[in-house]
Structure 1
Amino acid sequence: MEYFKVNDKVSALDEAIDGVVVSVKNDEVTVETTDGFSMTFKVNELIKTNTTNELNNFIKINGLAQKNVDIFPKKNNNAPKFKSDATERPVPEFDLHIEKLVKSKGGMTNYDILTLQSETAKRHIEFAIKNRIPKIVFIHGVGEGVLKAELDFMLGRYDNIIFQDANYQKYGLGATEVYFKQNVK
């Protein structure tokens, strides 16, 4: 098992999330993502991101041969030039499964669970609007469709939001993509 310390750079194993450890409590690690979100993971869901010094130490300790590699290949002046308008950031994903929101759902009624999931989604929507985040994804699962119906109802009440099923190849049928219209008067 890998142990984490505050300020360690980490990546989530099953998600495209990178960040820095802000706290460690038992087997749970709270990470501030590169997007500024605070997320909690189990220890086994994260991996440290090696810095160059850590990698060099690993090479020395394990007696591996180090090769000099030109990391800046020669520039081809005939290559086409592409210019990006803005740096692409990963789309924030929020898993609304109750197991991801609370340690134990024992004693919670279905109403309590749905209310907590809805309030969590609303909090993320309000945060995205306030911080002008153009797009987020809610992972709600397939199940009986109650959470998806509640989410669709909630999203329909906002004027400047467009939502649709998320990429099927990536999420299957269990996610909704939410777009926020910017500069609307």
Structure 2
Amino acid sequence: MFNIGDKVSVLDDVISGKVVGFEKDQIIIETADGFTMKFMQNELINENRTSDLKSFTSNQSLSQILKEKEEVKKRSFVKEKKSRKDEFVLEVDLHIEKLVPSKRGMSNYDILTLQMETAKRQLDFAIKNRMPKVVLIHGVGEGVLKAELDFLLGRYDGISFQDANYQKYGLGATEVHIKQNPNR
């Protein structure tokens, strides 16, 4: 049915090329871009044999079928409106691997202290720069860092916090909302 050098098109895709080889029950084609791809015999049309094409396409012309294959179907979607405030979210990853090149020689106390200092510094930065939201990524672990963060965040006036979006961060993040004071 197919010979090396035959010009072929793929039935359910916008791919065409020429036959360059055979492997078991598959036909290897090379596209115009130089990629080699494998297809089953029933997935290809031999463009060299117009009689095969005419019986296959009935009354439609080959150019009409190829044009239909190339038409891009437009997707409809509703664009979600976002306010200017929600555009930027400061994400602070408190995993120790993200804060220091190596934690060798650091005790658990040293690690926790560095993580808390980083969280406090980033939170103060966000408040000073009037950022509406900060996400502190603490991980799940044993919950020590999360408990310390909850204690730290409870000492701030004008902020509220909750677990961050589960789909995006899982269980290991806290979302902090900073209430803006217009008198500042």
TM-score by length of 1: 0.53
Q: Which has the higher helix share?
A: 2
Query: Max radius of gyration: which structure?
Result: 2
Where does residue 120 of structure 1 map in the other structure?
Answer: 118
The structure-2 alpha-carbon separation of the partners of 1:148 and 1:87, relative to structure 1 and needing over 3 Å to count, comes to closer
Where does residue 182 of structure 1 map in the other structure?
Answer: 180
Where does residue 165 of structure 2 map in the other structure?
Answer: 167
Q: Is the 8 A contact 2:139 2:171 kept in 1?
A: yes
AA partner of residue 150 (structure 2): D
Match of 2:89 among 67, 88, 91: 91
> Does residue 1:143 correspond to 2:165, yes or no?
no
Equivalent residue of 1:136, what SS? Answer: strand
Structure 1 segments (4+ residues) deviating >4 Å? 82-85
The structure-2 alpha-carbon separation of the partners of 1:99 and 1:184, relative to structure 1 and needing over 3 Å to count, comes to same
CA deviations on 1:120-157 (whole Å, 9 max, x unpaired) are: 00000100010000001010000000000000000000
Q: Which runs of 5+ in 1 are unaligned?
A: 1-61, 63-81
State how 1:6-155 maps to structure 2 within 5 Å.
86=84, 88-155=86-153
Number of equivalent positions? 107
Q: Which runs of 5+ in 2 are unaligned?
A: 1-32, 34-79
The structure-2 alpha-carbon separation of the partners of 1:114 and 1:85, relative to structure 1 and needing over 3 Å to count, comes to closer
AA partner of residue 171 (structure 1): Y
Give 1:86 deviation, angstroms: 2.8
TM-score by length of 2: 0.53
Give 1:85 deviation, angstroms: 5.2
Whole-angstrom CA distance in 2 between matches of 1:83 and 1:148: 32
Q: Percent identity?
A: 73
The structure-2 alpha-carbon separation of the partners of 1:184 and 1:171, relative to structure 1 and needing over 3 Å to count, comes to same
Whole-angstrom CA distance in 2 between matches of 1:128 and 1:112: 24
Query: What's the Cα RMSD here?
Result: 2.4
